[in-house]
Structure 1
């Protein structure tokens, strides 16, 4: 098959709504393109769309297009990628493009495919089934005793499930031959801490030892009482601060949600020093870089306080992700929903791989920090682990 014929076939199949799912991979450019792109059909406001999910090293983004808008997209994708796995109604097709864009295609018939669910309003497959009684959710006031999600708690239930999804994605990086040691800094009312224990211990059967830390004595006392009522023997709550918690030498997972300003950096630094395999962190109130930004090239942004604040926040999280990559983690910045106010927030998700930092990662991090004329707290916190790569 010629390249032009392949383009026409893809465009036609998209317009005829034959798509079940697809994955596009093997980018011709390793620096600019997403590592892979997942494709699926979705229904938005009653209209059929093609959703493209772009997987970069540290971020995942989405783009929704009408079938009529796919022609140029198809041409661009075939120009930038060498492999496609497309699942159409009744047929699966593997497509390989050579360096000179010669097309090789393998087709196979697929029978009994389930119909594609397009509606965004369909029942979601939650990790925590809303039709099952979860004792900790009853005690926390999210569910009634007969297992119904309370009307005013539906958003909270969704948010708890979103967090559990992140935990589920992390399982491959956690050890299975020993009890898991987990620290939750700034656990607060501990909806997510209880969910973490319930999912790992009750649903997955892991042996766990989880400690929730917070400075509010009354909140800690309430959570500790609830943990004892639920007979969660591996879950404990203590009054404590990130800076003075030195009771352990090694931790498998560190969770920190809404630790204010450099408290997030302190938690990230402590997690790295403990050798944490998984880090899940939702930063809050990043003020550190706000007073440091002094690049003339940014004047059109920094003269506006609101814009400067938002840019400083994004720059802070970008640097955090880069620094974690430099000390052996695979890091992504993904969307997370705040438990109280429900705006979309950034969650730093980092898995330890032990990979040595790439020269280009070192170079671009140095250049970015120099451009901002910044002195990031986390860089100073991890001087020993960074081994001078940013100096």
Structure 2
């Protein structure tokens, strides 16, 4: 089969999974690599072209009707292409005169089907072996797409986070630009990952803000966002409790914000009526100092047990208060215990919540039993909002 016909049939038949064009004929003017993948948008199937040049990614969404012609034209810019379809992998090799040789690799049914399934599962996460510009810039990947050995746990954490985000994408509003705030963004691995998923992979109009107290970290993150030409990703120095930069936020993220900083972030998300909340709490000291219950003395007399118990109680009370505010709340394992003890994520999605009065009563019974006064409840009236 002629290689041009192969490309046309792969696009028209819906079997094209991925294409990678490499070895540019002119390194001065052509991106060193162009990746192509199918992308479903509101106005139909498109194919997203990602050009990687100087560690910056440039994206273009090509309608299905024009995709075969564009891919054929790309072969005139590169000496090599690897095209993956549901049936086979095909390698295209061009000589100096421009003649293209097509080499077909037909995997067996036994090896092909799991791979295809794996590709579908990983459509929302970052695959290993494929260069991702922001991961390269953050030192997680090499320019060839290999995960740096010392950063493999971070790579795994990023992918787990994106899996959790993928589950709630249908709960985000459509038809207008989305606003996402990441409180306590730190070095912003996950902030960059969010932008990559929402803006680059999903093609959604989005403005993402990262907030942290460390000025040097914010300066570096801002520089990376500028280098990547991600103009709708901004970083600011600021305190979570005092932040007033937005009046409407669609998704609020806070990962490992210390002690009551997590509570302050959750309260702001409730006030903003955020559609999605993702929170991984950290170092919950507040209730550790307050808990008092003689019946639990066998547990509370051991410091390490009291610390863990206090952390679980803190998150349980937070979840109940979110439910009384109209959120469906889940407790999820963020990453495995061997990587960090702070491995619980509170994922809350705005929606109709039944029996809110009973949920509030459950909260009050547990609060009173343990003689605690949580930050979220104390600060709740200051929101000037009826929940």
TM range (shorter): 0.5 to 0.7
Query: Does the 8 Å contact 1:325/1:331 carry over to 2?
Result: yes
**Residue of structure 2 equivalent to 1:268:** 266
Q: Note the 1:1-391 alignment, pairs <5 A.
A: 125-126=121-122, 127-337=125-335, 341-343=339-341, 345-355=343-353, 357-383=355-381
Report how many aligned residue pairs link the two structures.
Answer: 274
Q: CA deviation at 1:169?
A: 0.8
Q: CA deviation at 1:247?
A: 1.5
Query: Does the 8 Å contact 2:324/2:357 carry over to 1?
Result: no
TM-score by length of 1: 0.65
Deviations 1:102-142 (A, max 9, x none): xxxxxxxxxx999997xxxx999542111221110110111
Determine the C-alpha separation between the residues in 1 that align with 2:289 and 2:386. 25
Paired residue secondary structure (2:147): coil
Deviating runs (4+, > 6 A) in structure 1? Answer: 112-117, 384-389
Paired residue secondary structure (1:144): coil
Unaligned runs of 5+ in 2: 1-108
Query: Does the 8 Å contact 2:187/2:221 carry over to 1?
Result: yes
Query: Does the 8 Å contact 1:282/1:348 carry over to 2?
Result: yes
Determine the C-alpha separation between the residues in 1 that align with 2:170 and 2:121. 21
Q: CA deviation at 1:154?
A: 1.7
Deviations 1:337-390 (A, max 9, x none): 28995346111100011435434322221211111111111112223779899x
Across the aligned residues of Structure 1 and Structure 2, the Cα RMSD in angstroms comes to 2.7
TM-score by length of 2: 0.66
Determine the C-alpha separation between the residues in 2 that align with 1:243 and 1:340. 31
Determine the C-alpha separation between the residues in 2 that align with 1:191 and 1:320. 26
CA distance change for structure 1 residues 290 and 357 in 2, over 3 Å: closer, same or farther? Answer: same
Unaligned runs of 5+ in 1: 1-111
Determine the C-alpha separation between the residues in 2 that align with 1:333 and 1:163. 14
Paired residue secondary structure (2:334): strand
CA distance change for structure 1 residues 215 and 340 in 2, over 3 Å: closer, same or farther? Answer: farther
Paired residue secondary structure (1:382): helix
CA distance change for structure 1 residues 275 and 123 in 2, over 3 Å: closer, same or farther? Answer: closer
Q: CA deviation at 1:294?
A: 1.1
Query: Does the 8 Å contact 1:335/1:345 carry over to 2?
Result: yes
Deviations 1:283-307 (A, max 9, x none): 0010111111111111111111111
Determine the C-alpha separation between the residues in 2 that align with 1:184 and 1:199. 15
